[in-house]
Every structure is written in C-alpha cells, then in structure tokens.
Chain A
Amino acid sequence: MTALAHEHRPPAPLRLRAHWTDHAARAAIAAVVLLLVVFLALPLGAILRQALEGSDGRFVGLANFIDYARTPALLQSVFNSLMVSAAVTAITVPLAFGFAYALTRSCMPLKSLFRGIALVPLLAPSLLSAISLIYWFGNQGLAKDLLQRFGIDQIYGAPGIILAECLATFPHTLMILVSALTLADARLYEAADAMGTTAARKFFTITLPGAKYGLISAALVTFTLVITDFGIPKVIGGNFNVLATDVFKLVIGQQDFARGAVVAIVLLLPAVLTFAVDHIVQRRQTAMLTARAVPYAPRPARGFDAAMTAYCTVIALLMLAMLGMAVFASLATFWPYNLAPSLKHYVYGLVDNEVATGFFNSLEMAAGTALIGTALVFFGAYLQEKTRGMETLRSTLRLLAILPMAVPGLVLGLGYIFFFNAPTNPLNGLYHTLALMTLCTIVHFYTTGHLTAVTALKSLDAEFEAVSASLKVPFFKTFWRVTLPICTPALVDIARYFFINAMTTISAVVFLYSPETRLASIAILNMDEAGELSPAAAMAVLIAAASAVATVLFMLLGRFVDRRTQAWRGTAR
C-alpha cells in the first residue's frame, strides 16, 4: 500500500564485485566460445559467402542458386537423393521398430547379444556395408543371380545405395526407438488389462502413441543420415548421382566452389529441419513421462517371444552376413577365383600401397579427438551449466554447442576448405594437418558429447557451487574434488563416442587430408576408386576391429573408473 510510494528503480543494475575466480571462469568461457566460433561458425559463414559470391569475388545475390536450379543434371541429383532417403526411411524404421519392440517388450532370450550384433555397423565406416554388397551382388558377386531373380539388373546405383544405407543406418534408428519404447508406464497397461483390452488395441492405443515422438525422430534422423552420407553412394552408386557425391565432384573434381557451396546449403536444409523438429519432439517426449511412472516389465509369452526371436535372428544374420562377407573377402587370396584364405591384402595390399600409415593416422586422430574433445566438451558444458554471469556468452556457447548436430559432415568439411584454405587466413598453416582434422572431427561430433556432459552435470545438485562459495572454496577446487569424480563415467562415454566416430568418419575429413595425413577410412575410398576392392575391404575390417578393441578397452576403463570414483553409489542404505 504505502510501499508503492517508496518504490524506486535504481539508475543502473547493480553488479557484484568480481572475485578473481569469477574472472578466471569468464576467461575460460570466452576461450571455449572463441574456439567454437573459429572452428564452427566462421567456416559455416564461409560457405554462405562462397554461395553468394561470383567467381570474381563480387556479391551476386542468389545468382548461383538460380544457375543451379537451371542445371538439369544437378536437379536430377536432388530427386535421386530424396527418393533414396525416403526409400531407406520407409524400410529401416519399421524393421528397426520391430527389433526395438523385441528388445524392450518381449522376454526373448539373448537380448544383449542381439542388441550387440545390431549395433555392429557402428564400428565400421558406413561404406563397409557397400563393399560387402559388392562382394555379394556385384559383377563378380557370389549371389548375383539372386538379385537378378528379383528383377534387379545390377547392384550399382539406387538398389545398392538403398540396401547399404538400410544396413548402415539400422543401429542409429534402433537406438532411438529402443529409448522411445523403454519409456513406458506400466500403469497404463495395467489399467488397460483391468478393462479387458485386447493386445492389438493396447498396441495401437498405448504403445504406438507412446512411441510416436521416437518414431518421428527416428524417421527424421534416418532420412538425414542417408541424404548427407557420402561414402556409400561413392562406392556403390555407379552413375547414380546424389547431392553428397555432387558436392565432392564439384569442389574436388571441378573446383567449382560456388556451386559446391550451393549444394552444401541445399544439403543443410533437411538436416536443419530434422534438428528443429527433433528438438521440439525431444522436449515433448521427456514431458510425457512423469516421475511417478512405473517402468514397464515384459512378461513371458511363448508364441510371441518365439516369433520375436525368429525375427531378430533373421535381422542379426543379415548384419553378420554383411560384416562376415567383408572379413571373408579381405582374406580371400584372389576374388572370386581363389578363395583360399591369406593375409595377402593386409600385408601387401595395405603396406605396399603405403596406406598402412593411414591406419596409424586414424588411431592418432581418434586418440586426439577422444582426449582433447572430451576435455573441451566437458569443460565447456561445465562452464555453461555451473558458472554465473556472462549471460550473452553463455547463450552463445549453448547455441554453438547444439549447432553441429544440424550440420552434415560434408558441409562442415567444405566450410573448412573455404575458410582455412583461404590464403589470407592466418590459420592457413593448419590446412592439411592432422591437428585440423582432429579439431574438425571434434566439432563434427560435439553435440552428442555436449548433451551427455550436460545431462551428467544437471543431475548434480545445483547448489554445490553456492555451498562452496559460502565455505570460501574456489569453484575449480569443487570442480576437481566433486564435479569431475562424479562425472567420470560420463567422461568415459564421451571419449568412447569420440574415438569410434573419429575412426569411422569420412564425410568431413575427406576434404581436409593430404597424402601424409590420409586416414584409414579415406584410404578405403581411394583404394575403391583405384579398383583395389580387396585391400579396401581389409582396411574396413581393420577399422572395425580397432573400434571393437577400443570399445572393449573403454568398457574396462569404465569399470575401473566406476570402482575408483563411484564407490559412494553402491553403498545405499
């Protein structure tokens, strides 16, 4: 009442006097933002600039886009890309849904084995499946007749791309659907049972609506993965052009940077759309499951479980046939005439072609990515979540950390060429170095690591920093004694994710290597181009083996770390 009369607005908002630790935190957050600006925002800006400039460097507005739209061959690629991506999405999502349903809603035996086999394609570059398909159905393929009996003339082109992409995207789609189907509230099913609902009705009124957002998300992610994938169409596409191969041909083959930039921006559209929709969908999905939900536990049902086991066996056999063929072919002395096993392609094919170094480059880059990437991602996430002040910088960081999810590797790599290859750029010296490729890979896979770190940090009590300040303990001491030890399992997860992806990535780094810094995954492409399919298969198998070993090592590390730092978890009352 009378207080209103006293109400006054001070002229300027007050600020607390900064403690020196506040300055340290601010400098650190500024450094992370600067890093992401230089290695993400500026390269993307360079693409836009390139797309809007003529060959003489003058601003030409949308002229490049109009020119592009008038080129029939390029427009054909747009159609091809859309068609292939739609087909793969239509095939993979239902197949993966069935598999995910078996994993989450049945009492099928050997679940973790089935799950492990389905995730195998993640360990190798996506083009491993393309190479295997060539050995199965290519001109000298073992089962070529089978293909022709289905009325498909040859595997090269759309059929090969679609089949290979189905195998390569399956684990990604599966993981999304498994997590969607895991989020089920048992009480809904109990209520339905109490009302005597049939199984089919329960499926259509509870299960499917519950997994709706997961399905949307899975479809979008699958579509984007396919439309932006470069390795598979390159290996098995033949004369069937898609957007991703166009970018490569335009930029590397014809040095037509302007058109390459235009195609890159076209490629960016579905990815950005996916990202935006996924973002909204994720938010709804989490809101759906309340804290009081009772987790669903499947009950044994003989017929259903047997059917699910049969289905998963078929899919798992297909996966194994794909991986097995690559292993088998890489060991065959002289395909298809002498199938006796030998290490010829590993020894002569790789070492003598001087591509063996690529394998060590890959290992070096993967180790660098895992180490530096994990440190950077976690530190960035910590500063974003747990320090105070600097709101503008903080929201910039938040945006930059999420952005890589919406940028296909191909587009990022292109941006790096435009930006770092420019003679006027003081960072030009980085071009072609393993260091730049490492940074590019870190940025490429930044978002997933960032989200993992943020989730781990958000699970900590929000008041740790406030308590520390009240006890006059600087924030970095609490970071070291409390935050970091609690989050080590998440750190191991992030490092493993970075390592495996760095081993298998092609799309971004394919623009950045030099003969000295060639990676194993790129060597596969080169050997395939040179017609050396057997050594290419050998290299792909080597990568898969290295990734598998790394996964096991990371698992052991995780267990060791758990024992060292998570003792407090196991001691609940």
Chain B
Amino acid sequence: MTHELSLELRGIHKAFGSFVALRHIDLGVRKGEFMCFLGPSGCGKTTLLRVIAGLEVQTGGEIRQNGRDISRLPPAQRDYGIVFQSYALFPNLSVADNVAYGLVNRKMPRAQIAARVAELVKLVGLPGSEKKYPAQLSGGQQQRIALARALATSPGLLLLDEPLSALDALERVRLRQEIRALQQKLGVTTIMVTHDQEEALSVADRIVVMNDGRIEQIGTPLEVYREPASPFVADFVGKVNVLPGRVHGDRLTVGTLAMHANGAGAAGAGGSGSTNGADRDVRVYLRPEDVLARPIAEGDPHVFDAAIEKIEFLGSHCHVRVSTPAFAPHGLTVYLSLNYLAEHSLQVGSPLRLRLLEERVRVF
C-alpha cells in the first residue's frame, strides 16, 4: 500500500505550561483523504488542528506538507484553508467580498475574481447571494460561505474545526453530506475535528480517535466501530455493554456462557495472553446490536433467557434493557426493532430468548 502523503506529523508534542495537550502524535494524511479527528472535549483534537494550521506552536516534533518541512512556518506561509465553528465571516463585508477576501490579495484581475466568486458561491449551493451580508443568512448558509471562502484560493489542505457544531440537528446532517460530496468532487485533502461520532462515522475515510492528548486508534469508520483498539474507543464510539469475563487458555467465559477466546476477538489488547495457560480476568465488550433476538437455532450454546426491564424508545428501534440469569448480576442493553417488539407483544416484564454473536465479542 503506497499512498502519497499530503501531510505527515512526526512526534508532535504540545504542552501549555505543565499541562500536556498532545503526546507524541505520529500521523500521515493521504492525498485526497477525508480524515476526522474524533474525541471528547479536551482530548487535544482541536489543539492538533491548530498546530497543523500554525495557530499554536508545537513544543516538539515535525510537520511536513507534501514533503516540505513546515514545522516552523507562520500560518501565512502554510498552504491551507480553514473553517471555524463560529464561521468567522467578516460581518461588514458582503458574501462576495468575504469569498474574494483571499483572492484580492493575489492581485487577480477584477473580472476573474468575480467569476471565481460566482463559481464558488454556486459550488456551495448559494448562487445569487453575493450581495447579501452574513447576518442575512442562516447559520448553515453562513457556514457554506465560510467554506467557499476557505476553498477560494484552492488550498492543498482544508481544515474544518467543528464546522457543524453550531447548527441545528437537521442542518448538521444535510451540510455534512454536502461537505463530503464537495470534498470528493474537488479531491481536496481534508481534516475535520469533531466530537460527534456519528458525524465522523458518516463522512470520514479514516478516523483518528484521540483521548488525553494521545491517538487511541487510526482506522476506517468500520474498523473503529467493529474492531476498537482499546476500551476507550469501544466506549466512545457507539454504545457498548461491558461485562466481566475470564479467559482460560483459548476459552472465554462470560457469565454462564462459554466460547472460543480467539474467535471472540481476543486479539484486542490481550491477544498474547491466550498463549499462557493461566486464568485471566478480562472485560468483555459487546455492542447492543450484536445480541440478536432471531434467528435462534435450538442447541446454540450462545443462547440465553432474559426478561425486559426497561424499553427506551428511539424511533424505529429501541434500546431494551434486559436482565438475565446468564450474566447476573449484570444486565444487558440490546437493540431491537420496534416491529419486532410489536410482533411479539413484548413489553416490560416480558421474557425473551437472545443470542450472542460470538465473532463480535471484544475482549480487553
């Protein structure tokens, strides 16, 4: 796999006084890739973006863009466009002047600027809005203009700092798809910072999950979701049940159920543990949708009885909290469709049989 790197970070370290915000970050961003920095607030994702932009200075480490060392270059000498959560549109300038802001400085002829502005405004889906002021636009429209402004100078790298956080839920979903489509159309290497896992899963080529100034995992959305590299990732991305388990040789026991440890994805953190024969206490991670209510074959060793304790209605599906002698005293949350619940007239107190998907179980 030889991917040409657009951006390369080596050993980036950042401390604010005694507080360490970034610890030895190594990362390569491929050309044309859409990468998301995902993590809880305070994990260092925004600091990392600002280091790449030159708005913060790393305490140590190296940044290369297209092979060029930009570690010590001021923002104005780096090649990127940036969009902030607050839009940062100049309120006293019209939409056209905002989009043209970086072009005017390049001493382009007036007509050429006007043509480029019209092209960009059309590209972000707001043709005809050139003469308006930002205050006349909705939040989503303002963010589209901010995007057009960042793209106007055709930068080699697009940085998006939580661009959707200030928008309402519907607009957020619509704009993130637009940004993704635009990014694919232009092929511009893009880094987006977000704390919203759904957002990251839906648009990114690869996700960098960060926690406490470190990278926890780099992977495609599916990898991050299905094969979390650490308990933190499993917890942060998606919903998960955590149960105590025990590994003995290549056998994993969770409650009264036993399964093959290797098949149970024990490769996680304790993959090497299976080679020594001693018993080992582990934590077993199981997503709600990896516990099925059907189809259930007779004699399946991973089937257990449960009773519904609570139903959290989410729309087409529900999170159903069940208690089961199999894992007592621990309960389990499973993900069941509304139709299924209706079909079997399930309600609080109803008994049901469930099957655990052995191959999806993660052990740490």
Contact = CB atoms under 8 A, between A and B. Distances in A.
A469 B80 CA distance: 10
B53 A466 contact: yes
Contacts of B86: 461-463
Contacts of A464: 88, 90
B24 A463 contact: no
A9 interface: yes
A472 B153 contact: yes
B45 interface: no
Contacts of B59: 9-10, 13-14
A8 B72 CA distance: 19
Interface string A545-567: 00000000000000000000111
A4 B19 CA distance: 15
B314 interface: no
A6 interface: yes
A485 to B, nearest CB: 5
Nearest to B152: A471
B24 A573 contact: no
B74 A467 contact: no
B93 interface: yes
Interface residues of A, number: 43
Most B-side CB within 10 Å, residue of A3, A470, A474: A470
Nearest to B77: A19
B92 A474 contact: no
A461 B88 contact: yes
B136 A470 contact: no
A15 interface: yes
B82 A568 contact: no
Contacts of B76: 19, 21, 469-470, 472, 474
Contacts of B153: 471-472
A481 B135 contact: no
B215 to A, nearest CB: 8
Given A8-B11, A9-B60, A470-B150, A565 B92 contact: yes
Interface string B75-96: 1111011101011111111000
Given A7-B23, A471-B105, A568-B135, A482 B53 contact: no
B345 interface: no
A209 B280 CA distance: 61
Nearest to A463: B88
A571 B136 contact: yes
B229 to A, nearest CB: 11
Interface residues of B, number: 48
Contacts of A572: 135-136
Contacts, number: 129
B13 interface: yes
A419 B80 CA distance: 52
A291 interface: no
B3 to A, nearest CB: 23
Contact of B74 (A9, A22, A482): A22
A573 B137 CA distance: 7
Nearest to A478: B90
B81 A470 contact: yes
Interface in A10-28: 10, 13-19, 21-22
Contacts of A566: 92
A15 B133 contact: no
B31 interface: no
Contacts of B39: none
B54 interface: yes
**Which applies to chain B's interface (DSSP): helix, strand, loop or mixed?**
loop
B214 interface: yes
A573 B102 contact: no
Contact of A473 (B53, B87, B92, B102): B102
A3 B24 contact: yes
Most B-side CB within 10 Å, residue of A22, A466, A477: A466
A6 B11 contact: yes
Contacts of A474: 76
Contacts of B217: none
Contacts of A3: 23-24, 214
A305 to B, nearest CB: 37
Contacts of A16: 54, 57, 72-74
A486 interface: yes
Contacts of B73: 16-17
Interface in A435-477: 461-464, 466-474, 477
B71 interface: yes
Contacts of A481: 90, 93
A565 to B, nearest CB: 7
Given A461-B86, A471-B149, A568-B134, A15 B13 contact: no
Interface string B1-29: 00000000001010000000001100000
A16 B54 CA distance: 8
Contact of B92 (A13, A18, A21, A486): A486
Contacts of B105: 471-473, 477
B74 A14 contact: no
B23 A485 contact: no
B24 A8 contact: yes
B74 A568 contact: no
B90 A470 contact: no
Contacts of B304: none
B91 A568 contact: yes
Contacts of B24: 3, 6-8
B138 A573 contact: yes
Nearest to A11: B60
Given A3-B24, A464-B88, A485-B92, A470 B57 contact: no
Given A462-B86, A473-B105, A572-B136, 9 more contacts: A9-B60, A10-B59, A16-B73, A466-B75, A469-B54, A472-B105, A473-B101, A486-B91, A573-B137
30 contacts: A10-B60, A14-B59, A16-B54, A17-B72, A17-B77, A18-B74, A19-B74, A462-B86, A463-B84, A464-B88, A464-B90, A466-B55, A469-B76, A470-B80, A470-B81, A470-B82, A470-B150, A470-B155, A471-B105, A471-B152, A472-B153, A473-B102, A481-B90, A481-B93, A486-B92, A565-B92, A568-B93, A571-B135, A572-B135, A573-B138
